[in-house]
Amino acid sequence: MKVRQFFCALAAAAIVSSPSIAYLSGIEDVVVHKPVKNVILLIPDGMSTDGVTLARWYRGGKALHLDAMASGLVRTYSADAAIADSAPAGTAMATGHKSHTGYVGVLPDANTMPGLPALAPEDRKRPVASILEAAKLAGKATGLIATSEIMHATPADFSAHDPSRKNYDALSEQQVYQNIDVVLGAGSKFFEAANRGDREDLLAVIKSRYQYVTRPADMRQVSSGKLWGMFSETALAYDMDRDPAAEPSLAEMTQKAIDLLSQHPDGFFLMVEGSKIDWAAHANDAVGIISDVLAFDDAVGAALRFAAADGNTLVIAATDHGNSGITIGNAATTNNYDKLPLASFIAPLQKAKLTGEGLEKVLNADRSNVVEVMAEYFGITDLSAAEIAAIKQAKPGSMNYAVGPMIGKRANIGFTTGGHTGGDVTLYVHAPANLTQLTGTVENSDIAKYMAKAIQVSLAETTQRLFVRARQALEAKGAKVAFDATDAKNPVIVAVKGGKEVRLPVNKNIAYVNGSPVTLDGVTVVSGGVAYVPQSAIELFD
């Protein structure tokens, strides 16, 4: 009740009565006439502008769902670098704070980029609340979707906190105990006890809390309640390579999440990531980029259809960063770029029936059928000896790195890097009538602030509620505090006062009070050697 009263008071104080402004400069100019009920944030990881243009031309120039939403640009740099890694870029979009390479849902060690405020020493690596956590604390339903493993950097940024994006055990455990209503994606092997350093059987926990599905047909049968779906042991396939009977499309997952979450009377927050646009860009695989940009755009379409019918839903799409420097035109077109017909760029790409990743499934064991396969599935009949050798020698899981550039070269597609890029990216916003559309060139951290403003929650107050320094707060209550690391992979904070013992397992939302479980409103987190617990854990000693 206290939390709900706080958010209601905040909403009343924050509504602005001034008239709309014709030209907006960013988050400061946003006017909220009435709190928005639902927010859908869609992130096409690593999607550069030329990749969008290429996808549009690939399907004949037909407008994308994204096109009508374009409203500005997003600056993507992180706290300490001009070119961002997905972890800090997603953290900025989720929490309103820029962070350091590899950091998930926590502050950096320092803000070194121009214009950023100095960071207090005590705030280094401090967990900060995400918009998903703020929405959940305010009583909304929440959802998380990705085509990568669900504990990968971007989905983790909205649902977990750790200074290492590689700490899959901690990130996935926090996600399971975050009490998210709908989770759809992949990565089931990372939840199995045998594959975890902590030997936690998280699949068993999921099955005890959710309707757990592993096939699209089973997902479609769920009509209400909480749902967790994982459709592959690792990441899902590129949409072009996808078996519809085994894996749902991103649009199908988005629609199912909307169907379930929209049943909640207080609204919802949903984050959807088209994860493998980024992976294709790393491989300079134009076909993979097109495949998953179009699949992502279909998911945007599902979100927009719901928003149009609902009338009180904010839809935002923005990538966390660019990748590959993809260009329509390359060094070979320097002197004839304006004379080449569209087919020079598109026809070679349209011959592809698979991505480079999908190619591995149709090559035989000794890869002696390279020439035949490339002719049948990619329309390439002029392979050089070096290209044939590159395909034969490609390591498992990296075939798109071998094949992608071959197709790109024939389609006059340029790439400057196999890594991320630091340019501004396009901001796409569909705002309901009661909310000013965010426009102009904004910081990636402004996206979180805009969403928070729209649904009238405070990220700062949520952080204060969910991430209290455990030792200081518990000792202030008169409790003696110890850290039980008997099982080093499953540490527990122990607080004792009088006849009351409270045990707080790290990465869970559970407290054991004299052995009896109590559910907390957030997870216990250790970051930078400091333990943080929700205020509800401290209140157990009231």
Query: Would you name the residues annotated as active-site residues?
Result: 86
Contacts of 216 (CB under 8 A, 6+ apart): 231, 244, 245, 246, 247, 248, 252
- Please report which helix (H) or strand (E) contains residue 455, including its range: helix 444-455
Tell me: is residue 45 an annotated ligand-binding position.
yes
Q: Which residues of 112-139 are buried (b: 16+ CB within 10 A; e: fewer)?
A: eeeebeebeeeebbbbbbbbbbbbbbbe
Q: Are 217 and 247 in contact (CB under 8 A)?
A: no
Label residue 10 exposed, middle or buried (CB < 10 Å: 0-12, 13-18, 19+): middle
Integer CA distances (angstroms), 63 to 252, 341, 488, in order: 21, 20, 54
Tell me: is residue 161 an annotated ligand-binding position.
no
Tell me: is residue 430 an annotated ligand-binding position.
no
Q: Are 132 and 180 in contact (CB under 8 A)?
A: yes
Tell me: is residue 321 an annotated ligand-binding position.
yes
| Strand spans (E) along 44-85 | 70-75
In three-state secondary structure terms, 518 is strand
Tell me: is residue 154 an annotated ligand-binding position.
yes
In three-state secondary structure terms, 335 is coil
Tell me: is residue 97 an annotated ligand-binding position.
no
Phi, psi (rounded to 5 degrees) for 411 = -100, 10
Tell me: is residue 376 an annotated ligand-binding position.
no
Q: Which residues of 366-379 are buried (b: 16+ CB within 10 A; e: fewer)?
A: eeeebeebbeebbb
Of 313, 306, 289, the closest CA to residue 251 belongs to 306
Numbered residues of the known binding site for Zn(2+):
45, 278, 282, 320-321, 420
Q: Which residues are annotated as a binding site?
A: 45, 152, 154, 273, 278, 282, 320-321, 420
Binding residues for Mg(2+): 45, 152, 154, 273
